[in-house]
Amino acid sequence: MRSEYIKQWSQIVAGFLLCFAGTCLHAQDPVFTVRVSGTTVAQNTVFSVQFELKNASTSQFEPPSFKGFRVVGGPSTSSSTMIVNGVVSKSQTWTYSLLASEQGRQTIDPARAKVNGRSLSTKPIPIEVTEATALSQPGMSGDSNEPVFLIAELNDSIYYPGQQIILTYRILFKENVQSVNPISEDDYADFFVQRFANINPLASYEMINDEQYTSRVVKSLALYAHQSGTYEIDPLILSAGISGPAEANRGFFSMRRLRNVQVASAPVTIHVAPLPADIPESFSGAVGQYDMKVSFGTRPLTTSNAFAFTVEFTGNGDARRWELPTPVADGDFELYTPRVMNDEQFEIDGEMKQKKTVMYQMLPKSPGEFSIHLPFTYYDPQQGEFITLRSDTVTRKVAVGEKNTIAHVDEQQDSTPEPMTVRRPIFKDRFWSSYPHLLLFGLFLSGTCFGIARVWRYEKEQKIPASRRKSRDAATQAEEKLSALEQTMDTIADKPFFERATEIYYSFLIDRFGIPAGELDEDHLDRYLSGAGVESELAAKAKTFFSQCLTVRYGGVPGGFQKGEMIAACRALINALGA
């Protein structure tokens, strides 16, 4: 009897253990699944996809290509291990945030994972990307029932190279947004970028489809296109923390739960038109709205004293594009390289502006009375025309300086006899044949010949067109600037050094080949080099170096050069092109 009792209990325990083992074995089978936050999404909106491996873990996970989508977040991974009633279960997840960039029926292909030599894959998931619902704001897409929107706005529809483009991102929300964190943003590689620091913190309110939204600016940028064309700015994607619903048993001091919502702006297309064809010769390259103030000096002028005056330029265009204007005088002056006394940028009335103070110095080469004025030509997109600002014309009298010997004719000698009539007394008087007299006469004769040669050379020089003289002297002036930069390069920080070297090369190209500042881009450079008969190999090197220098505008280093290498490369090209 006792043996039968033990036998029955043995069978019960064995059956229980068998069931338990079967349950454990079944629980340990790996399962690989995928789920998405929605199978129908609007274009330019963000949704999430999560891959989960249950009852196993792996280091060999292979995500799909996500063709037709753009990965804007992830992968964020997590793993967990739980023991329930003696049963051990594992879980491993990979989560991605995707931007639905292409409209139509798309498919998320299977993900793959290897577990103990066994290959697992998820099922493909079809996603229907619908057309973004047009709401009341440009740059806005989605369904008006969403609690948060992100819109991108431009301040105009058509722009020109060098003009300031203001791109503003605003977030609109019906629920309280506690935090905003960027996930993905365009690199704006085709533009010179300035970021606004003083963003209006005040909120405004807008009605969209009979729903009231609160609006705040989260980012504002000033962009400057280097050349004409059509550019597309990728969506800005943010993660917004929204206050979740209040819990019934929430304590007084407990934190309210936040719900993260990912939002994206619509892509923005920027149209940059080329400048009008009738570019005046005096065009500086500046595009926007500008003002100029000139302060002329009152110091008496002589041929040994330079005429100095300061000019203050204020404008809202790309300050790196335009060249300083050249003073116009009706006399012969030697113009020194203008010196920038102050260069500052500031924000005012919702736009970026630059104020540049420059000192000009001009040395008169001969005495007389001369008139001087300074013209500054820029293109105003609002008025659609080139505008020339002109300073007041000032007249200055130039006297002979102490260090200069200028040959001139004495008016009282008009009625005196010709020198030939007094030659005899010269030979009778020992003084006239003495060495001091002959030396003085030789100096007078050589000075007269030098003066005549100088006048002849000046008149010949004036007959040469200004553009041709500028082209001829471009290499010499560039070499002088490079030598000055080379002497001080150890005391200059990297960024201003490479900016100055790039400026010297660009100025050389403008002067040497007569390229208007507004047309200095890769396409026009190729045409001007070909028109000047530059050999194809040298032209290719010049264009490559020009493209490398463009990286300076975005804070990079041209071609990865060191300072000395930059000087050497720039000098070699200038010497070759200037020959």
**Secondary structure string (H, E, C) spanning 346-357:** EEECCEEEEEEE
Look at the alpha carbons of 41, 43, 47, 53 in this order and tell me if their dihedral is positive or negative.
Answer: positive
- Please provide residue 124's backbone torsions phi and psi, each rounded to the nearest 5 degrees: -70, 145
For domain 284-399, give the fold: Immunoglobulin-like (2.60.40)
> What pLDDT, on a 0 to 100 scale, did the predictor assign at position 325?
92
What pLDDT sits at residue 493? 82
Q: Are strands 375-380 and 283-287 parallel, antiparallel or unpaired?
A: parallel
Backbone torsions φ then ψ of 553, nearest 5 degrees: -65, -20
pLDDT for residue 165 = 95
Decide if 70 contacts 101 (C-beta within 8 A).
Answer: yes
Least confident of 32-46, 57-71, 334-348, 455-469: 455-469
Q: Please state, in angstroms and rounded to a whole number, the distance separating the CA atoms of residues 200 and 215.
A: 11
C-alpha 442/C-alpha 573 separation (Å) is 46
Q: What is the DSSP letter of 527?
A: H
Name the nearest CA neighbour of 320 among 552, 563, 508, 560. Answer: 552
Taking the alpha carbons of 272, 274, 280, 283 in that order, is the dihedral positive or negative? positive
Q: Which residues contact 487 (CB under 8 A, 6 or more apart)?
A: none
**Considering the chain, what is the average pLDDT of its residues?**
78
* pLDDT at res. 257: 63
545-564: pLDDT as tens digits: 888 787 665 555 665 678 88
**In Å, how far are 60, 147, 203, 204, 274 from 213, measured between CA atoms?**
46, 9, 10, 8, 39
Q: What is the dihedral of CA 565, 568, 569, 570, to 10 degrees?
A: 120
| pLDDT confidence tier of residue 425, bands split at 50, 70 and 90 | very low
Tell me how far apart the alpha carbons of residues 463 and 238 are, in angstroms, rounded to a whole number. 64
CA angle (537 as vertex; 532, 542 as ends), nearest 5: 65
**CATH fold match for the domains 148-246+255-272 and 284-399:** yes
- Burial degree of 181 (CB within 10 A; 0-12, 13-18, 19+): exposed
| Identity of the highest mean pLDDT range in 211-225, 416-430, 445-459 | 211-225
Given a cut of 70, whether residue 279 has pLDDT beyond it is yes
DSSP string, 386-452: EEEEEPPPEEEEEEPPTT-------GGGTTSPPGGGGHHHHHHSGGGGSHHHHHHHHHHHHHHHHHH
CA pair distance 294, 107, nearest whole angstrom:
65
pLDDT-derived band at 28 (thresholds 50, 70, 90) equals low
Q: How far is CA 184 from CA 385, 394, 422, in A?
A: 39, 56, 95
- Which of 242, 234, 250 has the alpha carbon at shortest distance from 190? 234
CATH of domain 27-130: 2.60.40.10
Span 486-495, average pLDDT: 84
Mean per-residue pLDDT, 188-217: 83
| Cα(87)–Cα(564) distance, integer angstroms | 69
Tens-digit pLDDT profile for residues 41-89 = 877 778 888 898 888 888 888 899 888 888 877 788 888 777 766 667 7
List the beta bridge partners of residue 311. Answer: 294, 358
Residue located via tokens 């005096």: 282
In the chain, the amino acid numbered 3 is S
Provide the pLDDT for residue 311: 94
Give me the DSSP letters along 459-508. Answer: HHHHHS-HHHHHHHHHHHHHHHHHHHHHHHGGGS-HHHHHHHHHHHHHHH
Helix (H) or strand (E) run with residue 212 in it: strand 211-225
Confidence of residue 468 (pLDDT cuts 50, 70, 90): low
Taking residues 300-316, what's their average pLDDT? 89
Please provide residue 524's backbone torsions phi and psi, each rounded to the nearest 5 degrees.
-70, -35
Give mean pLDDT, residues 232-257. 67
**Is 70 exceeded by the pLDDT of residue 417?**
no
- Domain ranges, ordered by start, for the chain: 27-130, 148-246+255-272, 284-399, 430-461, 466-578
Percentage of the chain surpassing pLDDT 90? 15
Is the pLDDT reported for residue 572 higher than 60?
yes
Higher-scoring residue by pLDDT: 103, 310: 310
- Amino acid 271: pLDDT: 94
Q: 344, 320, 377: which is closest to 550 by C-alpha?
A: 320
pLDDT reported for residue 290 = 95
Q: What is the pLDDT of residue 286?
A: 93
Closest listed residue to residue 542, CA positions, set 570, 563, 514, 516: 570
Question: 148-246+255-272, what's its fold?
Answer: Immunoglobulin-like (2.60.40)
Higher-confidence residue: 257 or 347?
A: 347
Is residue 359 a contact partner of residue 384, using CB atoms and an 8 Å limit?
no
Tens of pLDDT, residue by residue over 353-397, are 999 999 999 888 888 889 999 999 999 999 999 999 999 888 888
Tokens of 250: 């929430």
Please check the confidence at residue 141 and state whether its pLDDT lies above 50. no
What is the residue whose two structure tokens read 């090197």? 541
Dihedral sign, Cα of residue 336, residue 341, residue 347, residue 350: negative
Residue 288 CA to residue 200 CA, distance in Å, equals 24
CATH topology of domain 466-578: Four Helix Bundle (Hemerythrin (Met), subunit A) (1.20.120)
